[in-house]
Every structure is written in C-alpha cells, then in structure tokens.
Amino acid sequence: MSDTTATNPPPKELGRYARRGVSASKHEVHAAVDKLDPGIFPGAFCKITADTLTGNPLLCNVTHSDGSGTKAVLAWLWWRETGDASVFRGIAQDSIAMNIDDLLCVGVTGQVLLSSTINRNARNIPGEVLAELISGTEEVLQSLRDHGFDIHSGGGETADVGDLTPTLTVDSCATAVLARNAVVDASRIRPGLAIIGLASGGFCSYERDENSGIGSNGLTSARHELLCRHYAQKYPETFDHATNPELVYCGPHRLEDPLEDSSLSVGRALLSPTRTYAPFVTRLLRELGVSHLAGLVHCSGGAQTKCLRFGTGVHFIKDNLFPPPPVFRAIQKAGNTSDHEMHRVYNMGHRLEVFCEPAHTDSVIAIAKELEIEARVIGHVEPSCLPSKKNHLTLKTTTGSVLHYA
C-alpha cells in the first residue's frame, strides 16, 4: 500500500474476521468482565487475587484459562488427510503456551499447576489422538522445566460432548502462586518508555523446527483465507454453516502446497506450534529484575492493539515493526484484507512486548539474542494526545501505511 492514513473503524466490527462470527476486540466480553472485581493489581495483564491457597499476605494467586482455539480444526484436517496423529502434539503446546505466556506478563516464572480439558466428539476423535495430546502435554511441560520454568500437571478432564462439538477443543487452566513484590504491573506503563518486540517466528534455541509465527490467534480467518473449497466439501463438520459461504474455505491452497517465500508448506505454517517466551522472561526477570520492567504485553487477542488496555493516558507509537512473516503476507493477499484488520487480528511478526526505560533496551535485546530470538525496539510511549486522554495507538506498517486505533 502507498502512504495513507487509515481512520478508525466504526464501533461495529465489519471485517472478514467478524463476518466469520469472531471478535478481535471481544468488546462484549470486556463489557461484562470489566464490571467485575479487578483484583489486587487492577492494571495488571492478568487478574491477580489475594493468596487464598495459604492465606499468606505476602503472596498472591493468578489463575488463567485459554486454549488452542480453532487451530485444533487444522490438526483435525491434517490428521484426516495424512493419518499423522502426532500433529496434535503441537495443539497441546498451543493450549499451554497461550496460558503460560499470559502468566509471564505478570511475572510468573514458576510454581504453576496446569489442568487440561479436552472436549471431543468420541465418534470422530479416537484414542490415538487423545494419546498424542496427553503425551504432547507432558513433553511440553518437561521442556519448560528443562528451561527453568517450574510447571507441573494437575491432571484434567476429557469430555465426550458430541452434541457440542463435531471434532474437538483443547483448553487448559493454569494456576500460580506469586510473591506480591514480584508482580509485573502493566499499570506502570507510562510516557517515555521504549517498546521492545520479540519475534514470533523464525528459529530460536529451544525450538526443534522453524516457527511460522502464527501463534493461536486469528486461525478462524487464516484457515478459511488460505485453504480451498476441497475442505468445505469433504469436511463440513469443520465450519459454522451460518457463515456466508463466500467466506468459507475460500482460499487457493491445500495443506501440502508450498508457502510463498518460506521453507514451510501452507499446512505446516498454519500448524506451527505457538512459541512460548517462558525461557526469555524467566531470564529477563532474573537478570534485569521486576523494578526495571514497566510492563509485559502478550499480543494475543487484539494482536497489535492489545497494549491499549494497559497504562493510563498514553499514546503507543509503533513505527519500527518486524517485516510480516510469509504466513501473514499470504493471508492478507488471499483475502485482500486491510492492514487495519490484519494488525488487529494477527501478531504480524512479534507476539511479546517489553516496556522499559530506553537505558535498558540493549540488555533486554541481548537476553533475547542469547536464546536466538530476534528482538528490536519497535516503538515508544508518549502522552495521549486525545482530548479525552484515552489510550490510543499509532502504528506504521512496513509498507508505509499509518494506522490509528483507540
């Protein structure tokens, strides 16, 4: 795109993501949740409560629930097309990483208990799939422990709910105990801070394979934008039939097709397990300390606009983003999706943001480099320039478009 300035979209989401029945902003959820008790650190990334497990006034508790979302459908398609059930190990990692990486943002680096929930249609999801999910979960937990993040399984539940799901869902709930003086409180995000982004794709030292960077957000649209009608016709159980047929599996590809400008196939790129930043944040907090971190933001739901929920009266400026990895370029091209929607739905190249004083940016980037994670200063924070002093974001894409969100 040429240099343009995009205006804010109307309050009602009208993009391709919303037309598929999914909300990137989750405004209805926040409208309900924001009225509840915010916990003892109201501006933190996750809700934090007093320690009800032991009653220790120096401690606090954090509980978080999330899952692999519709990425599980992609694993189902891959398994049905190839017979390879090991693909579900990546789905187990997705579910865990989406919980753990939110907990990281409040300073949790251990003492975590994880419970997993698998809802399946028993007619379609046999024991071999369950075995891969369960063993995959244990493998991921052991890998996290090997890299210094103390986490253990508390068991879980497998429910046969064919009336609710034609395939399966894979979710987790993680609970942690944390010292109150170790909390990273994102309410401290303020003008004058630098924003460091950590790449979501590529190779890092603790991953076995190249990561496409897709994570576990936006997969409803990503699947339909890239994959072709073959999957709608052969697997009608994998989509909502209330969706406009023009938006269902409307892409040009099959799973095995090569992804342009990548060594991955389209299917492998979409199924690339969500990278966890646990090894990085564990070292960051140990070496830099919580006092030098104003906030950590996991760019999950809301993607590049997630930061808007943290800090008060601030203007986030992101003007040095990573080039979008090939998977995002392919999604945008296939769906002719606007830059505005792409950056609200997908992480577009970085999935964790570190907010710190400019004097500490070199130290943060050096820690990431030691783990072979690309990191860079992607922007900074200024005072809000809106009359209401509401938080807002100005984002410059790598193609020169300037986007505004509030």
| Structural domains of the chain ordered from first start | 5-405 (3.90.650.10)
Q: Give the rounded percent of residues in the chain with a pLDDT score beyond 90.
A: 90
Contact 71, 91 (CB under 8 A): yes
From CA 255, how far away is CA 227, in angstroms rounded?
7
- Report the distance separating Cα 191 and Cα 361, nearest Å: 15
- Per residue in 49-98, pLDDT (tens digit) is 999 988 999 999 999 999 999 999 999 999 999 999 999 999 999 999 99
Angle between the 361-370 and 278-287 helix axes, to the nearest 10 degrees?
140
> What is the reported pTM?
0.92
Question: What's the average model confidence in pLDDT over 101-121?
Answer: 97
Q: What pLDDT, on a 0 to 100 scale, did the predictor assign at position 2?
A: 33
**pLDDT band at 110; cut points 50, 70, 90:** very high
Residue 131, phi-psi category: left (phi > 0), alpha (psi -120 to 50), beta (remainder): alpha
Residue 171, H or E segment:
strand 168-179
What is the average pLDDT value for the chain, to the nearest integer? 94
DSSP letter assigned to residue 372: T
Token pair of 174, please?
């993680």
> Would the pLDDT of 349 be above 50?
yes
What confidence score (pLDDT) does residue 9 get?
A: 43
Short-list 346, 339, 354, CA closest to 397: 339
**262-307 pLDDT, tens digit each:** 999 999 999 999 999 999 999 999 999 999 999 999 999 999 999 9
Contact by Cβ (8 Å): 200, 275: yes
Place of tokens 């936006």: 218
Strands laid side by side in the 375-383 sheet: 5-6, 402-405, 392-396, 314-318, 375-383, 194-199, 350-356, 295-298
Give the DSSP H/E element, type plus range, for residue 92.
helix 88-104
Percent of the chain with pLDDT over 70: 94
Digit-coded pLDDT (tens) for 355-383: 999 999 999 999 999 999 999 999 999 99
What mean pLDDT comes out for the span 19-28? Answer: 67
pLDDT for 22 equals: 76
